[in-house]
Chain A
Amino acid sequence: MKLAVSILAIAAALALQTTLTTFVRGTAALDFVLIVVVYLALTSGPATGLIVGGVAGLIQDSLSSGIMGVGGLAKTLVGYLAGRLGTQFIVTAPLPRFLVFIAATVVHGTVFMGLYVLLGLREFPSPYSSVAWQAVGNAFVGVVGFQVLEWLPGFRARRQWRRTARR
């Protein structure tokens, strides 16, 4: 069940990433797949985080024109680290989550860009600012997404309870 949810979440994130960015301006900087990976890592632990991160990253790489495995490696590390943070600390309030998303984006960006630069395959004109903006964006979307997903089960329960009460 969990695996299926994870696969669905990744698929949804990839779909969102590939479609939303063409319609909604300013979303190109966001990494929905990374947000999903961090979410799953925080809620399921480091093992799930790194597996999901690795798989999602590889799929993302395969869909992009870059080197296969660079994104996978970056997301593997992010998934693992986020999972570790989730098991070591209480990351339930919006601010810690925000910080985790920020950190995750920074780590991802560092590994991703660092590998490309190290291998001499690509240059990034303004890496700090792009990572910073992406971190803020990912953190905002992530925290909101977290809140929504946590709010959804309660909302459904309350709606069911109201329907039952009316009858």
Chain B
Amino acid sequence: MALADIKHRPGLLLGAAVVLHVVIISAQVNTASGLPVLQVVTFGAFAELQRMVTSGVTGVQGLWSGYVDLRGVKDENTALRQELQALQIRLQEERALAQRAEDLRQLLELRQRAELDTTAAEIIAASASPEFRTVTIDKGSTDGLQADMAVISPAGVVGRLILPSRRAAKVQLLIDRNAAAGAIIERSRAQGVAVGFGTGELRMDYVSATADVKAGDLVITSGIDGIYPKGFVIGTVDSVDKGTGTYHEVRVRPAVDFSRLEEVLVVLTPSPARDAAEAADRP
């Protein structure tokens, strides 16, 4: 019965016969590499089958594991995010410590270079009013601080101490509207007074119209004011308006970045001009 059925399906029979013949031929023929064709073809076909099965299983496995993993991924994500935040904070702390160490190293270098009696102080507060450019440092009269002491940093002049308390002191920054310092153009030795604008810039007043001043000149303290020791950097000349008056209008870009001040040095040694002034005041 089955044989009769097959006989009525010659196409099926042909397929079987062809496959049988191919198998028989393959069993006898070797490939160019010397391996039997049957072995190569069988292995190739089986390998493809294995590849398909493996990819199917892998796909299902991936889908399943992906689904299962998704169930726990939210908690894991939250934990990882918290960990990342903690690490970011820690990184910032480390960076801050490194920056602080660098700042302190520069301060120490300045202290040694300046050969002045100084004390390091940390800025603990900024100005309470935007109209005034002052900061508060963490050292006061108990540390030997007095009014009109110069405050410097590795970059240059910061300002002067205007109000010492026992354990803290207020420092008027050089860029404050009421601040001023005796200044000198380093290159030409032209003198003047560096005053604050209250905006973050400085102006150098009383520079003679005949003085040799140009943009890029370094402005340093002259020391004649009795507060700031001589030779400390104030800034660089930004622009010079020679105009028609008696004096030049000189704009100075401060050397100190006041927005990122953290540590400063307070100069404890009185300047010679101050000593002279105090001696003159004494009866």
Contact = CB atoms under 8 A, between A and B. Distances in A.
Interface of A: 45-48, 50-51, 54, 58, 67-70, 72-73, 76-77, 80, 83-84, 115, 119-121
A65 to B, nearest CB: 12
Contacts of B13: 47, 50-51
A72 B14 contact: no
A73 B10 contact: no
Interface of chain A, helix or strand or loop or mixed? helix
A69 to B, nearest CB: 4
B25 A115 contact: yes
B163 to A, nearest CB: 104
Given A47-B6, A47-B7, A69-B21, A76 B14 contact: yes
B28 A73 contact: no
A34 to B, nearest CB: 16
Sorted from nearest, which 7 A-B pairs have the closest CB atoms?
A: A69-B24, A73-B21, A46-B10, A69-B25, A47-B10, A47-B7, A69-B21
B17 A54 contact: yes
A38 to B, nearest CB: 15
B1 interface: no
Contacts of A46: 10, 14
Nearest to A61: B24
Contacts of B14: 46, 50, 76-77, 80
Contacts of B40: none
B10 A80 contact: yes
Contacts of B18: 73, 76-77
B29 A68 contact: no
Interface in B57-107: none
Interface string B1-34: 0000011101001100110111111001100100
- Residue of B14, B24, B37 contacting most chain A CB atoms (<10 Å): B14
Contacts of B29: 67, 119, 121
B22 A73 contact: yes
9 contacts: A45-B10, A47-B10, A50-B14, A51-B13, A67-B25, A67-B28, A68-B25, A70-B21, A119-B25
A37 to B, nearest CB: 13
A165 B13 CA distance: 50
A119 B37 CA distance: 10
B88 to A, nearest CB: 68
A45 to B, nearest CB: 7
B10 A76 contact: no
Contacts of B28: 67-69
Nearest to A119: B29
Contacts of A84: 10
B32 A120 contact: yes
B23 to A, nearest CB: 8
Contacts of B20: 54
A149 B28 CA distance: 39
